[in-house]
Amino acid sequence: MKLQFQCSNAFSMDMASRKITENKNKVRPDNVVTFRIGPGSYKLRRSDLKTEAVAASDWKTSSAPMLSKAGTIACNDIEFDKALHAAIKGGTFDFEGFGKRIGKLGLPEDMLLIGATLPSEFLDFAWDSFWWDKVLAKKRPDPSGKWAQTLSEADRQAAIEKLKRKQQELESGTASIRAGLLESIKKTNAEMKADLEVAKNAGKHPDGSKMNKHEAKLAAVFIGQPEQKVVDIMGNPDDFNQTADARFLRYSAWWEQQGVTVYGAQGVIGGDPGGYAECFAEFSVRPDASGEWRVDDIVVRGDYEGTGSREIRLVCNDAIRPKR
């Protein structure tokens, strides 16, 4: 079975403050878990030792001990992997140390492990671990008669041919995986290069001029990031323009108040001159070495008339505020 579990994010981010906090609500063996049977699942029939496909299921919840333990391992995979690697010492395995580490996750310290992956080996493991007394007494059920059956030459050749076909499939898949890995490495290198550029030019525009406080605040989050991240956080731009090698996403905000003049018997006796204020944040994005559009520069500019001088700061704050 290919079981899939719904796990909470290890960390959460406050979009307003950009503060990242660790999620303390992690899955433990006594919790109710949400799971489903994933695509590609199958079972091994005991009657003839042949595989039978198992259909994928909808999401379900369960507090069954086995599923809760499996969910604990799936949702704490980093801690579980660390426990495994710490227990491997040369050619030996520190079972006691491993047990203590997984015990902190709420798992049994004497939990058994299996490294084999063939369905028949899983069956053997289950019998030898849970019903070993029946195995020793030679009372293990053998409905197919194949557990004790000696492999014929024809069966051996058929198995070899099957392994060859599997090997060819693996080699074909490996080529595809390598291509995908190279593409992933290129993307990672581009991101690292972008991050290094950001660190080197922190608080500055590409021409070397110093950013204002609004620009620096946005640059700390967006410089070097993909264009899509801007849209995901800031929403769709109010204006969009593109040249041969650059795109410009503009987010605007404004304030306006009509002027009022009060007249009396002696003429003008008072009023409010009114005012106007506007501000925009413009993201400049350019393609990196792999062709992905990334934020290259950010410009925040404002203008005002009359009493708009009192409002311009609030208007600019509104222009740079995330819309989503």
Which of these ranges, 52-61, 64-73, 252-261, has the smallest mean pLDDT?
252-261
Asked if 114 and 122 count as a contact pair (C-beta separation under 8 A), the reply is yes
Looking at residue 123, what is its pLDDT? 72
User: Are residue 230 and residue 173 in the same domain, yes or no?
Assistant: no
Distance in angstroms (rounded) separating the CA atoms of residues 148 and 140: 11
Amino acid at 66: M
Provide, rounded to the nearest whole percent, the portion of the chain with pLDDT above 90.
22
Domain range for 172:
150-200
Which of these ranges, 60-69, 302-311, 313-322, has the smallest mean pLDDT?
302-311
Which of these ranges, 23-27, 256-260, 273-277, has the smallest mean pLDDT?
256-260
- For the question of whether the overall pTM of this predicted structure is more than 0.75, the answer is no
Q: How many domains does the chain have?
A: 3
Looking at residue 304, what is its pLDDT? 85
User: Are residue 44 and residue 163 in the same domain, yes or no?
Assistant: no
Average pLDDT over residues 217-231: 90
Do the domain assignments include residue 324? no
pLDDT digits (tens, 9 = 90+) for 270-315: 556 678 889 999 999 999 888 889 999 999 998 888 776 778 888 8
For 68-90, give the secondary structure using H, E and C.
HHHHHHHHCHHHHHHHHHHHEEC
pLDDT digits (tens, 9 = 90+) for 173-209: 666 766 666 676 666 666 666 666 655 666 788 888 8
User: Are residue 236 and residue 290 in the same domain, yes or no?
Assistant: yes
Most confident among 136-140, 170-174, 190-194, 217-221 (mean pLDDT): 217-221
Q: Please say which residue of 98, 123, 143 terminates a domain.
A: 143
Looking at residue 239, what is its pLDDT? 92
User: Are residue 184 and residue 211 in the same domain, yes or no?
Assistant: no
User: Are residue 31 and residue 66 in the same domain, yes or no?
Assistant: yes
Farthest-apart Cα atoms in the chain, separation = 120
User: Are residue 13 and residue 136 in the same domain, yes or no?
Assistant: yes
Looking at residue 281, what is its pLDDT? 94
Do the domain assignments include residue 130? yes
Q: Please say which residue of 143, 161, 184 terminates a domain.
A: 143
User: Are residue 177 and residue 107 in the same domain, yes or no?
Assistant: no
Do the domain assignments include residue 27? yes
SS3 state of residue 183: helix
User: Are residue 103 and residue 174 in the same domain, yes or no?
Assistant: no
Q: Please say which residue of 95, 119, 143 terminates a domain.
A: 143
Residue 44: count of CB within 10 angstroms of its CB: 14
User: Are residue 160 and residue 282 in the same domain, yes or no?
Assistant: no
Beta-carbon contacts of residue 95 (< 8 Å; ≥ 6 apart): 87
Do the domain assignments include residue 136? yes
Q: Is 133 left (phi over 0), alpha (psi -120 to 50) or beta?
A: alpha
pLDDT tops 70 at residue 263: no
Do the domain assignments include residue 54? yes
Looking at residue 188, what is its pLDDT? 67
pLDDT tops 90 at residue 248: yes
Looking at residue 4, what is its pLDDT? 92
Distance in angstroms (rounded) separating the CA atoms of residues 80 and 86: 10
Do the domain assignments include residue 137? yes
Quick one: tokens of 100?
Answer: 């203590």
Looking at residue 247, what is its pLDDT? 94
Average pLDDT over residues 120-128: 72
For the chain, what percentages of helix, strand and coil (3-state, to nearest 5) are there?
40, 25, 35
Do the domain assignments include residue 127? yes
User: Are residue 44 and residue 137 in the same domain, yes or no?
Assistant: yes
**Which is higher by pLDDT, 129 or 51?**
51
User: Are residue 136 and residue 10 in the same domain, yes or no?
Assistant: yes
User: Are residue 9 and residue 116 in the same domain, yes or no?
Assistant: yes
